[in-house]
């Protein structure tokens, strides 16, 4: 496993040298190393991409990442999101969300067989997405009740709650109604018909330009496929340079050994510090604030995640514009404020090593559970323990096997744990909120000093401000829990500001960072690609 760390360390070193002032500058990798960016080069007429002949090209049944990537060429969605989670329309002309109803107006466009894309096709695709067993799209649509055609250009989706950012979930691909049942003369399933820039040529297992595409074509004329039905063949193909693009969510912490230019991809994958609400110290929000304030998130992103993560300044990514000025957690540590909050929580005496003591005179100790199979999280846990020690809090890292980690989480045998979840791009933080919120109560008096978590617009239900403008939490008063704020947000009672402020005041879990994904692409795709999770080929050159 050591080679992973060596590769990543080289990655960090060369990124620092060549990244310049722009955080979006692509880097070039070869066997995990980065070299200087190439000058702009034209896109080739033909490229190669991974493909699995053992898997379907139906975007709602395929299970391999390689076929999911190919489907982005074949099937057009209603819209995509860029790396700031902003909407860029594709088949949709416009989208509005009001009174638990999402209204979609579609453009005039054709499928690759020349037939018009209709609202009926959108409803058909919605139903396929919602029923998909792969969860790639079904999880995003779980609060969408039904879709119906309302005119020859519009579709309405009924929602079970007031979701202002539901439009961000309309990234599911549109397929022609009924084309998922197509078969050839030998009764073998054929790929469904899409409206994307390419169609799948069954004869040669390649992708050819769709002459009926409604928009501009890429400069690429043909996409040849490299059949890689399993993970081992995928690794061999990218290492040998047989394909021109590869995406990884870096869940395994391995930087691919592939020639090419590297570009980060924003993800809603949050690494967080979970707390056991039954622990008498951690049940006190002052204590949770102290731990959060002591954490140097910027260093964790650099040293543990090798710059493939960004600090979590709250429960949602900082590059999501609706959260501008609402995220108040700092990316660096403030040891003094962390110590102040521990003492406000009632722990004022220290032992001979400088750690705070319990009232019975014993050293206050906490354990931090982490999965030893995840090297980045293990490294992050060690840094968190070091940060806490600087504030006088003794935390022992307990790295255990994956099986033991899961078992101890299930049984509640932990004080703190380091975990990760992914939520949908409408920024539904329910997965975080439901971990502990409403079970976490203040345990004692004192006001919390949150200079490093100052909110410009604090919620009156949770906080007041002193004469210096610092947010102060009243003794024993968390009157709006994250859970109640979350429920109220989705029934229209509370604003996004209320939800984020409630979460930051209570900290049912402590946000650490948001992990990035990675795309590596060859010079055949030119330069300046700005890939996103919903369109990995975003920014590619078009035909003149």
Query: Could you read off the pLDDT of 509-531 as tens digits, one per residue?
Result: 999 999 999 999 999 998 889 99
DSSP per residue, 250-309: -TT-------EEEEEEEEEEEEEEEE-TTSTTTTSHHHHHHHHHH--HHHIIIIISTTSE
Q: What is the model's pLDDT at position 40?
A: 56
Spatial distance between the Cα atoms of 91 and 69, rounded to a whole number of angstroms: 19
Q: What is the pLDDT of residue 31?
A: 30
CA 279 to chain centre: 30
Domains 54-223 and 267-515 share a fold: no
Find residue 399's DSSP bridge partners: 370
DSSP 184-227: -TTSPBPPPPB-SSEEEETTTTEEEE-TT-SSPPBS--EEEEEE
Q: Does domain 267-515 sit in CATH 3.30.360.10? A: no
Residues 54-223: name the CATH superfamily: Periplasmic binding protein-like II (3.40.190.10)
Compute the distance between CA of residue 255 and CA of residue 29 in angstroms, rounded to an integer: 9
A 10 A CB-CB count for 278 gives 10
Which residues of the chain carry a pLDDT beneath 50? 1-39, 437-476
Instruction: Determine the Cα–Cα distance for residues 192 and 113; give it in Å rounded to an integer.
Output: 11
**Confidence (pTM):** 0.86
pLDDT score of 9? 37
What is each CA distance from 161 to 97, 423, 429, in whole angstroms? 11, 17, 15
| pLDDT tens per residue, range 203-236 | 999 999 999 999 999 999 999 999 999 999 999 9
Task: Please state whether beta strands 46-51 and 365-371 pair in parallel, antiparallel, or not at all (unpaired).
Answer: unpaired
* 125 touches 157 (CB < 8 A): no
Domain extents in the chain:
54-223, 267-515
Alpha carbon distance 16, 14 (integer Å): 5
């Amino acid at each position: 496993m050591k080679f992973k760390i060596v590769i990543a360390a080289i990655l960090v070193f060369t990124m620092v040298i060549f990244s310049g002032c722009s955080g979006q500058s692509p880097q070039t990798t070869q066997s995990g190393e980065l070299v200087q960016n190439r000058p702009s080069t034209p896109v080739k007429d033909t490229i190669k991409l991974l493909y699995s002949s053992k898997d379907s090209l139906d975007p709602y049944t395929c299970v391999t990442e390689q076929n999911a990537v190919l489907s982005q060429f074949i099937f057009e969605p209603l819209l995509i999101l860029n790396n700031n989670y902003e909407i860029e329309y594709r088949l949709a002309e416009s989208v509005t969300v009001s009174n638990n109803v999402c209204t979609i107006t579609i453009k005039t466009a054709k499928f690759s067989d020349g037939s018009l894309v209709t609202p009926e096709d959108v409803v058909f695709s919605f139903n396929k997405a919602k029923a998909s067993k792969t969860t790639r799209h079904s999880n995003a649509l779980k609060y969408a009740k039904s879709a119906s055609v309302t005119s020859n250009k519009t579709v309405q989706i009924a929602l079970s709650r007031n979701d202002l950012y539901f439009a961000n979930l309309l990234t599911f691909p549109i397929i022609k109604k009924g084309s998922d049942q197509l078969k050839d003369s030998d009764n073998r399933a054929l790929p469904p018909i899409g409206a994307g820039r390419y169609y799948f040529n069954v004869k040669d297992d390649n992708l050819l330009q769709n002459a009926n595409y409604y928009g501009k074509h890429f400069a690429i004329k043909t996409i040849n496929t490299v059949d890689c039905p399993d993970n081992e063949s995928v690794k061999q193909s990218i290492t040998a340079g047989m394909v021109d693009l590869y995406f990884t969510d870096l869940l395994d912490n391995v930087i691919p050994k592939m020639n090419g230019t590297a570009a980060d991809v924003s993800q809603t994958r949050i690494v967080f510090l979970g707390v056991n609400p039954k622990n008498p110290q951690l049940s006190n929000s002052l204590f949770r604030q102290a731990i959060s304030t002591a954490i140097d998130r910027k260093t964790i992103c650099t040293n543990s995640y090798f710059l493939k993560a960004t600090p979590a300044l709250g429960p949602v990514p900082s590059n999501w514009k609706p959260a501008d000025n609402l995220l108040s957690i700092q990316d660096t540590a403030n040891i003094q404020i962390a110590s102040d909050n521990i003492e406000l929580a009632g722990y004022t005496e220290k032992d001979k090593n400088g750690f705070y003591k319990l009232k019975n005179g014993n050293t206050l100790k906490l354990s931090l559970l982490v999965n030893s199979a995840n090297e980045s999280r293990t490294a992050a846990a060690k840094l968190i323990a070091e940060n806490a020690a600087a504030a006088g809090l003794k935390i022992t890292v307990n790295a255990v096997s994956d099986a033991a980690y899961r078992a101890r989480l299930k049984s509640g045998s932990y004080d703190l744990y380091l975990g990760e979840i992914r939520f949908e791009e409408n920024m539904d933080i329910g997965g975080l909120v439901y971990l502990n919120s409403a079970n976490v109560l203040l345990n004692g008096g004192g006001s919390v000093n949150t200079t490093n978590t100052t909110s410009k617009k604090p919620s009156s239900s949770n906080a007041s401000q002193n004469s210096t403008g610092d947010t102060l939490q009243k003794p024993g008063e968390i009157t709006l829990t994250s859970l109640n704020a979350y429920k109220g947000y989705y029934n229209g009672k509370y604003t996004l500001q209320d939800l984020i402020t409630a979460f930051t005041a209570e900290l049912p879990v402590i946000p650490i960072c948001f992990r990035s994904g990675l795309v590596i692409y060859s010079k055949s795709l030119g330069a300046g690609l700005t890939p996103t999770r919903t369109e990995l080929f975003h920014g590619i050159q078009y035909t003149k």
